[in-house]
Chain A
Amino acid sequence: MSKRINEFVIEGCIKLSGLVVILFVASIFLFLLKDALSLFGVHSIRDFLFGKSWLPISEPAKFGVVPLLLGSLYVTIGAIVICVPLGVCSAMFIAEVAPTHLKHVLKSLVEILAAIPSVVLGFIGIVWLGPFLRSTLGLSTGMCGLTGSLLLAFMALPTVISISEDALVGVPKAFKEAAYGLGATRWQALWRIVLPAASSGIIAAVMLGIGRVIGETMVVMMVTGNSPVMPKSLLQPLRTLTATIAGEMGETVAGSEHYFALFAVGLILFIITFIINFIADICLRRARK
């Protein structure tokens, strides 16, 4: 009897924690929505969504989110293009190729990589990577999107590597053995059998990597120059959504137009990450079928 009560209580607790998470997400969303929508009482929604200039302290202020949105997209795409091939290949090496002792060393190194605080990476970007890129590529300044992309790729690597590696290791041994049995080489088995079988996990890794990159603030604020221009290439300074919120939130008076505008930027960021997770979810389900 007491066992049953125990089970009932434990089940209830677990159910409650699940519901609390939903409640948290819902209330964060509502909180953002409430303050973001207040902006559109005083500022036109079209100027916000399609405006091409972000001049928050001018009179009248202009809150056009397009340059910031493009800034975030450019930096994120740059980072993913650099990080995904590198991350998936390292995961393949760690999971399938490397000898056991090297595997352990590499895995712990990846974990150390994940532990580097972003402000330290930002500092490296300011004093070394930025100047290095400026002199090698002949740029006018090293404070540009590419510097941000490279550092963010570096930050997302541990996420991509460890989740892809888990996915690769999780592929049933029988798949590989069957491939060998049919005369496949090690490379053929890895590339044609194991990798496709792990694709759902790898897509999840990439999506989580994107989530990590688009939400990162400190590094991009320190190294991308923060100019609210309409970016044309990664080699010029740009300003991201996150850096805008972090850089300007402190000076806004609660309840002012600028304050609401930053919440609206936060809402956009939230919607983007929501969509990314949603896509990841669909991909995962499709891959499982």
Chain B
Amino acid sequence: MTAILLVLAGIAGCKESVDPNEPVGFIQVKGSDTIVNAAQEVAEEFMKDYPHVFVAVTGGGSGVGIASLINKTCDVATASREMKPKETEVALKHGVTPKEFTVAYDGVALIVNKDNPIDKLTIEDLHKIFTGKATNWNEFGGKDLGIVTISREVSSGTHIYFKEQVVRLNKKESTEEFSNETLLLSSSQAIVEEVAGNESAIGYLGMGYTSERTKSLAVSNGKDYYLPDVNNVMKKKYPLSRGLYFYTDGEPNGIKKLFIDFAMGPKGQERFKATGFVPVGDTIVEKN
């Protein structure tokens, strides 16, 4: 009983200290593991400016974020891929109107072990590797060593982006799949760990997760080879460049609008830049 009284007193005390014009509330941000660190930093900056709004950021994968937006268990879904038409359809059926915001750009980096002599590959090569048509590094001028392909789980937006762009070569009618042998790991960190220790391995992940313990490959879409770095992604030269998105249910209002505006604004964009992504600038890119 005393405890309840204390809690009530605490709530009452809190209410008194807040300026009635000050925004108060709770925002649940959920989704892409690629953006989770950046989103966490944006949320922390945001909470410094608006101390009475609490922003909780969790990962799980873009699919998790979109599913929870549809299941109405989060306020802002983060995704490293666009929503699929089928998902939009399901969302509308559940009474959710997804609104998309491009918050940053990212390159999907291909990483191999440091002892692997290969430095560059074309999209076509990557396609052969990840569909299991090429199984030895010597086909690309490397050592006589089997190739171990590593991917993220199916809930990852990067998985789906990579599947569309590389496994299916951006062809709508293609039904090709990742080779059955592909390892499906549950985090980018696990991919780095495996690639850093295994000379046969090749994996992909968001540019912000590349580490000094692995080597990033230069990738070409036919002509020149480009490394996945901020500059090449900004100029759209790196072939595996993609947008990173926030989704809300309908036009955001109240604290949700504050948060989205903050993420798109200079302070939020600064955090995206600091975590290894390419900011979209001050202009808000909207699409619906």
Contact = CB atoms under 8 A, between A and B. Distances in A.
B182 to A, nearest CB: 6
Contacts of A55: 177
A250 B73 CA distance: 11
27 contacts: A57-B63, A57-B154, A59-B175, A126-B190, A130-B197, A141-B148, A142-B194, A142-B197, A142-B198, A222-B186, A222-B190, A225-B183, A226-B153, A226-B184, A227-B181, A227-B183, A229-B181, A236-B181, A247-B154, A247-B184, A250-B68, A251-B60, A251-B62, A251-B155, A253-B67, A253-B87, A253-B94
Given A56-B154, A250-B60, A251-B61, A226 B197 contact: no
Contacts of A222: 186, 190
B161 to A, nearest CB: 12
Nearest to B63: A251
A56 to B, nearest CB: 6
Given A141-B200, A247-B186, A251-B155, A229 B180 contact: yes
A247 B155 contact: yes
B149 to A, nearest CB: 9
A250 B152 CA distance: 14
Given A250-B64, A250-B155, A126 B193 contact: yes
Interface string A133-161: 01000001111000000000000000000
> Which of the listed residues B62, B180, B193 has the most CB atoms from chain A within 10 Å of its own CB?
B180
Interface of B: 60-64, 66-68, 70-71, 86-87, 90, 94, 146, 148, 153-155, 160, 175, 177, 180-186, 190, 193-194, 197-198, 200-201
Contacts of A140: 146, 148, 198, 200
B170 to A, nearest CB: 16
Contact of B184 (A141, A225, A256): A225
A131 B67 CA distance: 35
Contacts of A227: 180-184
Given A55-B177, A140-B148, A251-B155, A237 B183 contact: yes
Given A141-B198, A222-B190, A253-B70, A248 B153 contact: yes
B194 A141 contact: yes
Nearest to B185: A226
Contacts of A142: 194, 197-198
Nearest to A144: B183
Given A141-B194, A141-B201, A226-B185, A251 B180 contact: no
Contacts of B61: 250-251
Given A141-B198, A142-B197, A248-B153, 18 more contacts: A55-B177, A59-B86, A126-B190, A130-B197, A141-B194, A142-B194, A143-B185, A221-B186, A227-B180, A227-B181, A227-B182, A227-B184, A228-B184, A239-B184, A250-B63, A250-B67, A251-B67, A251-B154
Interface string A175-202: 0000000000000000000000000000
A254 interface: yes
A127 interface: yes
Contacts of A247: 153-155, 184, 186
B32 to A, nearest CB: 11
Contacts of A17: none
A143 B200 CA distance: 13
Contacts of A143: 183, 185, 194
Interface string A30-41: 000000000000
A108 interface: no
Contacts of B68: 250
A58 B180 contact: no
Contacts of B86: 59
B71 A253 contact: yes
Interface string A237-279: 1010000000110111110100000000000000000000000
Interface string A46-68: 00000001011111000000000
Contacts of B197: 130-131, 134, 142
Contact of A58 (B60, B66, B175, B201): B175
A77 to B, nearest CB: 21
Nearest to B70: A253
A59 to B, nearest CB: 8
Interface in A190-225: 221-222, 225
A237 B181 contact: yes
B67 A141 contact: no
A287 B197 CA distance: 50
A63 B278 CA distance: 38
8 nearest A-B residue pairs (beta carbon): A251-B63, A251-B155, A250-B64, A225-B183, A226-B184, A229-B180, A131-B197, A250-B60
Contact of B183 (A58, A226, A248, A250): A226
Nearest to A246: B186
